[in-house]
Chains A and B, each alone.
Chain A
Amino acid sequence: MVEKSRKTQIIFHFIMIILCIFCLFPFLLLIVSSFTDEHVLIQEGYSIIPRAFSVAAYEYIFANSATIFRAYGTTIGVTVVGTVLNIALTILFAYPLSRRDLPHRNIWSFIVFFTMLFNGGLVPSYIMWTQYFHIRNTYAALIVPSLMMGAFYVIMMRTNLAQNIPEEVLEAARIDGASEWQILFKVVMPMALPIIATLMLLVGMAYWNDWMNGLYYLTQKKYYTIQVLLNNMLQDLQVLLSSSFSANVDMSSMPSTSIKMAIAVVGALPVLCIYPFFQRYFVKGITIGAVKG
Chain B
Amino acid sequence: MRLKKFGKRHRRYIPLYLMMLPGLVYLIINNYIPMAGLIIAFKQVNFRKGILASPWAGLSNFEYLFSSDEAFIITRNTILYNLAFIVLGTIMAVFIAILLNEIRGKLSKKIYQTVILVPYLISMVIVSYLVNALLATETGFVNHTIVGALGGEPISWYSEPKYWPFILILVNLWKNFGYHSIIFYATVVGLDSGLYEAAAIDGANRWQRIYHVTLPGLRSTIITLSLMSIGKIFYSDFGLFYQVPMNSGPLFDVTNTIDTYVYRGLMQSNNIGMSAAAGFYQSVVGCLVVLLANFTVRKISKDDALF
| Cross-chain contact A148 with B34 (CB below 8 angstroms) | no
In-complex Cβ contact of A115 among B31, B102, B121, B122 (8 A): B31
Q: Does A177 contact B (CB under 8 A)?
A: no
| Cross-chain contact A264 with B129 (CB below 8 angstroms) | yes
| Cross-chain contact B129 with A287 (CB below 8 angstroms) | no
Q: Does A2 contact B (CB under 8 A)?
A: no
Q: Bits for B1-44, please: 1 = Cβ < 8 Å to A, else 0.
A: 00000000110010111011011101101111111111011000
Q: Does A172 contact B (CB under 8 A)?
A: no
- In the assembled complex, the Cα of A136 lies from the Cα of B267 at a distance in Å of 13
Chain A residues with CB under 8 A of B179: 286
Which residue, of A5, A27, A148, A264, has the highest number of chain B Cβ atoms within 10 A? A264
Q: Does B221 contact A (CB under 8 A)?
A: yes
Chain A residues with CB under 8 A of B275: 122-123
- Given the interface contacts A180-B15, A241-B158, does A124 sit within 8 Å of B40 by beta carbon? yes
Chain A residues with CB under 8 A of B254: none
- Given the interface contacts A260-B129, A271-B122, does A96 sit within 8 Å of B134 by beta carbon? no
- In the assembled complex, the Cα of A227 lies from the Cα of B100 at a distance in Å of 33
* Chain B: CB-nearest residue to A257: B139
Q: Does A72 contact B (CB under 8 A)?
A: no
Q: Does B47 contact A (CB under 8 A)?
A: yes
- Given the interface contacts A119-B31, A127-B37, A283-B182, does A275 sit within 8 Å of B118 by beta carbon? yes
Q: Does B306 contact A (CB under 8 A)?
A: yes
Query: Smallest distance from the beta carbon of A82 to chain B beta carbons, Å?
Result: 13
- In the assembled complex, the Cα of A198 lies from the Cα of B188 at a distance in Å of 22
- In the assembled complex, the Cα of A102 lies from the Cα of B108 at a distance in Å of 48
Chain B residues with CB under 8 A of A97: 20
Which residue, of B31, B37, B51, B225, has the highest number of chain A Cβ atoms within 10 A? B31
Q: Bits for A153-166, please: 1 = Cβ < 8 Å to B, else 0.
A: 01000000000000
Q: Does B55 contact A (CB under 8 A)?
A: no
Query: Smallest distance from the beta carbon of B245 to chain A beta carbons, Å?
Result: 10
| Cross-chain contact A234 with B15 (CB below 8 angstroms) | no
- In the assembled complex, the Cα of A1 lies from the Cα of B246 at a distance in Å of 53
Interface residue stretch chosen among A15-23, A52-60, A62-70, A245-253: A15-23
* Chain B: CB-nearest residue to A275: B121
Q: Bits for A86-106, please: 1 = Cβ < 8 Å to B, else 0.
A: 001110110111010011000
**Would you list which residues of chain A between 1 and 33 have a CB under 8 Å from chain B?**
5, 8-9, 12-13, 15-16, 19-20, 22-24, 26-27, 29-30, 33
* Chain A: CB-nearest residue to B99: A12
| Cross-chain contact B174 with A23 (CB below 8 angstroms) | yes
Chain A residues with CB under 8 A of B174: 22-23, 26
Chain A residues proximal to chain B, CB less than 8 Å: 5, 8-9, 12-13, 15-16, 19-20, 22-24, 26-27, 29-30, 33, 41-42, 44-48, 88-90, 92-93, 95-97, 99, 102-103, 108, 111-113, 115, 117-128, 131, 144-146, 148-149, 151, 154, 179-181, 184, 205, 209-212, 216, 227, 230-231, 234, 237-238, 241-242, 257, 260-261, 264, 267-268, 271-272, 275-276, 279, 282-283, 286-287, 290, 292
A-B contact sample (16 more), CB < 8 A, given A23-B118, A120-B34, A128-B33: A16-B100, A23-B174, A24-B115, A27-B130, A47-B141, A92-B19, A93-B19, A115-B27, A118-B286, A123-B266, A123-B275, A131-B51, A149-B30, A180-B19, A241-B246, A287-B186
Sample 25 A-B pairs with CB under 8 A, ordered by A number: A12-B103, A13-B108, A20-B111, A23-B119, A26-B133, A33-B133, A95-B16, A96-B19, A115-B31, A120-B33, A120-B38, A120-B279, A121-B34, A121-B280, A122-B263, A131-B51, A184-B19, A234-B246, A238-B247, A260-B129, A264-B129, A283-B117, A283-B186, A290-B183, A290-B186
Chain B residues proximal to chain A, CB less than 8 Å: 9-10, 13, 15-17, 19-20, 22-24, 26-27, 29-38, 40-41, 45, 47, 51, 96, 99-100, 102-105, 108, 111-119, 121-126, 128-134, 136, 138-141, 143-145, 158, 174, 178-179, 182-183, 186, 206, 221, 224-225, 238-239, 243, 246-249, 259, 262-263, 266-267, 272, 275-276, 279-280, 282-283, 286-287, 290-291, 306-307
